[in-house]
Amino acid sequence: MSAPRTFKYIVVGDMSVGKSCLLLQFLERRFNPAHDMTVGVEFGTRIVHFGSENVKLHIWDTAGQESFRSITKSYYRGAVGALLVYDVTRRITFDHLLRWADDLNKYCSADLVVALVGNKTDLPQREVSYEEGESFAREANMLFFETSAKTSDGVDTAFIESARVILEHTTGRKYPKIEEKEVVDVVAGETQEDIKPDGGCPC
């Protein structure tokens, strides 16, 4: 297989929408309901295979609190993909999407691929319908997914399908969709300190 391409991702949205839990589920296939609040940013890496193409996702999970926004904006630079996450059980997190989308438009490149993600679909109470999320994404030219970080439903799809779209934009070639159950590799040994905010390495 070829050497992996590297795609920098950022995960943004209000606090407590489940951004860190989505990342944990995607990277380690586990759910931690008592996950500590993100302070600044957290980082993870995973490789996905699209036939002979390997794509390494460098994923930056940003804090949702207002007090950290000036810090986390520095990590937007160089991103080619973004997950914009809201909580389907809290409408206020959906109402704040325009503010987050404005930040992405302001601090990221024009060809950024954004996936709108409605999380916590496992919970019975819902304040934002699937149709509302889909409509917002369509009008904003975003991909759209609903997920449950707890059950893992839709989590791989959100990351992998958005990576496929970025790969197609990058290469000009078409790649088939891959199923969540297909094997991908977790890359160990890299930490936040090993990677610069702009997606480069310290070497």
**Which CATH number does the domain housing residue 182 bear?**
3.40.50.300
CA dihedral of 6, 188, 23, 136, whole degrees rounded to 10: 10
pLDDT at 55: 93
Residue 198 confidence (pLDDT): 45
Strands 53-62 and 81-87: unpaired
Assess if residue 60 is contained within a domain.
yes
Assess if residue 161 is contained within a domain.
yes
> How high is the pLDDT of residue 53?
86
Q: What is the pLDDT along the chain (203 residues), one digit of tens a residue?
A: 567 899 999 999 998 899 989 998 998 888 776 554 444 457 889 998 888 888 999 999 876 444 445 555 677 889 999 999 999 999 999 999 999 999 999 989 999 999 999 999 999 999 999 999 999 999 999 999 999 999 999 999 999 999 999 999 999 888 888 765 554 444 433 434 344 444 443 32
CA distance linking residue 201 with residue 203, whole number of Å: 6
Q: Is residue 139 part of a domain?
A: yes
Q: What is the residue range of 166's domain? A: 5-194
**pLDDT (0 to 100) of residue 72:** 57
- What is the tally of structural domains in the chain? 1
Which distant-in-sequence residues (6+ apart) come within 8 Å of 146 by Cβ? Answer: 88, 117, 118, 119, 121, 130, 133, 153, 154
**CA–CA separation, 200 and 79 (whole Å):** 11
How many Å apart are CA 99 and CA 95, to the nearest integer? 9
Residue 202 within a domain: no
201 within a domain of the structure (yes/no): no
pLDDT the model gives residue 34? 59
Q: What is the pLDDT of residue 62?
A: 77
| 12 in a structural domain | yes
Q: Is 133 part of any domain?
A: yes
